[in-house]
Amino acid sequence: MQTNPETPKLASSQIAILLLVSGIALLAVSVFSNSQIICFIGLGLTFWGALFILITPQKHVEGSFLVTSTLPVYMTIDRMLKDLTPKNEAYNIPSYTRDVDLPEYMKGLKEMVTFIPEEHATGMAAIEDLAKGKFLIENPKGLLITPPGIGILNKIEQKRKTDLTKIPLSELDETLPDLLNELYLTKEIKMATNENDVTLQINGSLYKNLYSQEYNLKSINLLGCPLVSAAACAIAKSTGKPTMIQKIKTSPDGKTTTATLKIVQL
Amino acid sequence: MNFPLTLSDISLWLAATAIILLVTSELLNSSPEYSSRILIDKTRMRLAAIGCGFAFLVTVIMRVV
C-alpha cells in the first residue's frame, strides 16, 4: 500500500499475460505432439496466468492519500467553527431506518448528522431543522454537518448487507471492530462498553496523522477521525440515541488512538 | 491429434491446485494484519479456490458414476 500504485499492477499484469500466452501455446503444442508432460505444464501456466489476472486488484492507492484527501474537510470545519465559537461537544444524531417511508419534506431525517452547538446553546437540534436538512440553525444555535465517518459507515453496511439499526449495542461490541477491521484501515480495533460510555482503541490507523500537531486541527477532537466518527455514528444508529465524543487520546508515538464516547440520554 | 490428458490426470491436477489455493486463501483470510499488505483480491482468490475444489469433486463423481 505504500509503494507507487502503477508499478506493481503493470508488472503483475505483464507476468500474468506472459504465463497465459505461453500456457496456451504449450497446450496447443501438447495436443499436436501428444505429450502429457507438456500438457501439464501448459495447463498449469494457463491456469496461473488466468488466476493472476483475476486476483489482481483493480485499484489501490497509497495509504497517506487518505489523510491528504480528508484534511480539507477538517480544515473547512475548523474555519466554520472559528465563526461559531462552539461548545466543546458534537452530537451524532441517528437517522431513521432506510426501510421507513418518509414524506418528501422529512427526507432529511434519513441522513445522519452531527450537531455542533454554540457555546451558550442548550438542548438538542429540533426535529424540524433535521427534517429540512438545514446547515445553520438558530434554536438552539449551532451547525448541522455531515459526520466525516458516514462514508465508511455506509461502505460497511453495503459490504456486509447489514443495517446497524438492527444490531443491539451488546452485539456491536464484537461486530463493529470486525466490520471496521475488514476495511484494512487499521491494524486492530477494540471496543468496550460500560453502560453509557464506550471506549474505542485503535492501533495503527491510517488516519493517525490527522491528530498530529503538524496540522493542528481543532475539529478533529470534536468529531474524531473518519474511523472514530464512523464508530460514533454506528453506536448512535444501533442505540437510536445521539452519541458524543468525550475525549480522544493518542499515544506518544501516535500509533494508538483511544476515544471515549458517550451515549446521550435525552 | 488427441488431448493427451485423461480424466484421472485432470482430477489429480485439480486436487493439487485446489489444495494449494484453499490453503493460501485460508492463510490470507486468517491473518488480515499481514494479508492487508498483499495486493490481491482475496474474495476472488477464495472463489477460485472453491471453484477448483468443486471441479475436483465433479471429476470424482464423473469417475465413480
According to DSSP, residue A186 is labeled: S
pLDDT at A10: 58
Per-residue model confidence (pLDDT) at position B46: 93
Q: Is the pLDDT of residue B64 over 60?
A: yes
Res A186: pLDDT: 86
User: Could you tell me if A72 and B45 are in contact, meaning their C-beta atoms sit under 8 angstroms apart?
Assistant: no
A124 touches chain B (CB under 8 A): no
Determine whether the interchain pair B3/A31 forms a contact, defined as Cβ–Cβ distance below 8 Å: yes
SS3 assignment for A199-264: EEEEECCCCHHHHCCCCCCCHHHHHCCHHHHHHHHHHHHHHCCCEEEEEEEECCCCCEEEEEEEEC
pLDDT exceeds cutoff 60 at A1: no
CB A19 within 8 A of CB A35: no
What is the ipTM metric for this complex? 0.88
In the predicted model, is pLDDT for residue A7 greater than 70?
no
Do the Cβ atoms of B39 and A56 come within 8 Å?
A: yes
DSSP B32-61: HHHHTTS-S-HHHHHHHHHHHHHHHHHHHH
Indicate the pLDDT class of residue A162, thresholds 50, 70 and 90: confident
| pLDDT over 80 at B5, yes or no | yes
**How far, in Å, CA of A131 to CA of A102, rounded?**
10
CB B31 within 8 A of CB B25: no
Residue A187 has pLDDT above 60, yes or no: yes
- The per-residue pLDDT for A196 is 86
For chain A, give the percent of residues with pLDDT over 90: 38
Q: What average pLDDT score do residues A60-70 get?
A: 84
H or E element at residue A192: strand A188-194
pLDDT tens figures, B6-40: 999 999 999 999 999 999 999 988 887 677 777 78
A2, A24, A174 from B5: Cα distances, Å: 44, 15, 50
Statement: residue A75 has pLDDT above 60: yes
Which contiguous run of DSSP H or E holds residue A81?
A: helix A64-84
* A203 interfacial to chain B (CB closer than 8 Å): no
A11 close to B (CB below 8 A): no
A207: which 3 cell numbers?
Answer: 488516519
Residue B17 touches chain A, beta carbons under 8 Å = yes
CA closest to B51 among chain A residues: A51
| Three-state secondary structure call for residue A89 | coil
CA–CA separation, A238 and A170 (whole Å) = 10
What value does the mean pLDDT of chain A take? 86
Mean pLDDT confidence for A154-159? 87
Residue of B nearest to A185 (CA): B36
pLDDT band at A6 (very low <50, low <70, confident <90, very high): very low
Task: State whether the Cα torsion A76-A79-A84-A90 is positive or negative.
Answer: positive
Name the residue among A95, A96, A103, A199 with its Cα closest to residue A144: A95
Inter-chain CB pairs, A–B, below 8 Å? 54
Cell of B35: 494479508
What is the rounded average pLDDT of the residues A28-50?
93
Residue A131's Cβ-side half-sphere holds a number of Cα atoms within 13 Å equal to 8
Percent of chain A with pLDDT over 70: 91
For residue A54 the three cell numbers come to 483475476
Asked whether the beta carbons of A242 and A236 are under 8 A apart, the reply is yes
